[in-house]
Amino acid sequence: MTLDDVEPLVMRRVVVPFRIRFDRLHEVLQAAYGWSNSHLYEFRIRDVGFGIPDGGFDDPIDARKATLLSAIDDIGARSFKYLYDFGDGWTHTVKIEKTFPVIADLNDPFLLDAVGRCPPEDVGGPWGYEEFREALANKNHERHDELVEWWGSADYDPTAIDAANLRNNVDALATKWKRRSRKKA
């Protein structure tokens, strides 16, 4: 997955079971990127949306009831979009690189690779992120003081990434989901 319209590159490679529900895939992506999971989301596969319906006219298919496998089988796409935070407008391109045969007891998601630091939440989307980085780096920028106060410092390295922490966040999902399964049983 790559975060569209930002530089430098922000990319994650994850392994997930093909039968993962979209609501759980959303959680994996949130953990892998380091987002805070505090906004609405939608997966767009061609013209079909998967998200959380709110009773509106053009609701997406309920992400809690649809799996990646069923959607890919029905629609036939090997790449799609993941939209997060409709106000900021973060768009990610998700590509299915490879599929593997089912391996018993290997149903947990995991993070293979992480490149680039995820932008801060609520920074204003790709264009706000660009201004954020410019303002922090330039003491003469009109928004420098405001954004330093909001962020907490003038230090921000878009290439600095804590991949171990992101991996732990993704790993924690499998533990959480297993606890839920035991409670239902």
Q: 10-residue block means of pLDDT along the chain (185 residues)?
A: 97 94 97 95 94 87 94 86 96 92 77 96 96 96 96 94 96 85 60
Neighbours of 130 (CB within 10 A): 16
Structure tokens at 151: 């962020």
| pTM of the predicted structure, to 2 decimals | 0.91
Domain 1-102+110-117+161-175 classified CATH 3.40.50.300? no
The predicted structure's pLDDT at residue 185: 55
Give CA angle at 107 (27, 181), nearest 5°.
70
Residue 86's identity, in one-letter code, is F
**Domain residue spans of the chain:** 1-102+110-117+161-175, 118-156
The predicted structure's pLDDT at residue 66: 94
The predicted structure's pLDDT at residue 78: 86
Per-residue burial over 77-109, b if 16 or more Cβ lie within 10 Å, else e, is eeebbbbbbeebebbbebeeeeeeeeeeeeeeb
